[in-house]
């Protein structure tokens, strides 16, 4: 936890705005947890870190964590 607190990462609470943002995402895959995180990142104008190539296809600022 100390590493997270000392980094520039921020833990975001889930809000209704995030839930409603899911409607704006294309249905590239059906993983509900990933889609919620992507919607949250998009609505907060944050970068989504992922190692799942499916997530990189969304219209959300993503960072490929595989590299």
DSSP type of residue 47: P
Q: Are 46 and 61 in contact (CB under 8 A)?
A: yes
Query: Residue 58's pLDDT band (boundaries 50, 70, 90)?
Result: very high
Helix (H) or strand (E) holding 39: helix 32-43
Question: What is the phi-psi region of residue 45: left when phi exceeds 0, alpha when psi lies from -120 to 50, beta otherwise?
Answer: left
More confident residue, 3 or 57: 57
Full DSSP string of 12-36: ----HHHHHHGGGS--S---HHHHH
The number of folded domains in the chain is 1
Convert the pLDDT of each residue in 44-53 to its tens digit: 999 999 999 9
Domain membership of residue 44 as a residue range: 2-64
Task: Report the pLDDT value the prediction gives residue 1, as an integer from 0 to 100.
Answer: 67
> What's this model's pTM, rounded to 2 decimal places?
0.85
Convert the pLDDT of each residue in 6-45 to its tens digit: 887 778 899 999 999 999 999 999 999 999 999 999 999 9
């Amino acid at each position: 936890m100390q590493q997270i607190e000392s980094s520039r990462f921020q833990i975001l609470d889930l809000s209704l705005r995030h839930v409603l943002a899911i409607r704006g995402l294309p249905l590239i895959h059906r993983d509900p947890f990933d889609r919620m995180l992507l919607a949250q990142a998009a609505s907060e104008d944050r970068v989504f870190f992922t190692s799942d190539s499916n997530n990189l296809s969304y219209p959300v600022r993503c960072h490929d964590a595989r590299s």
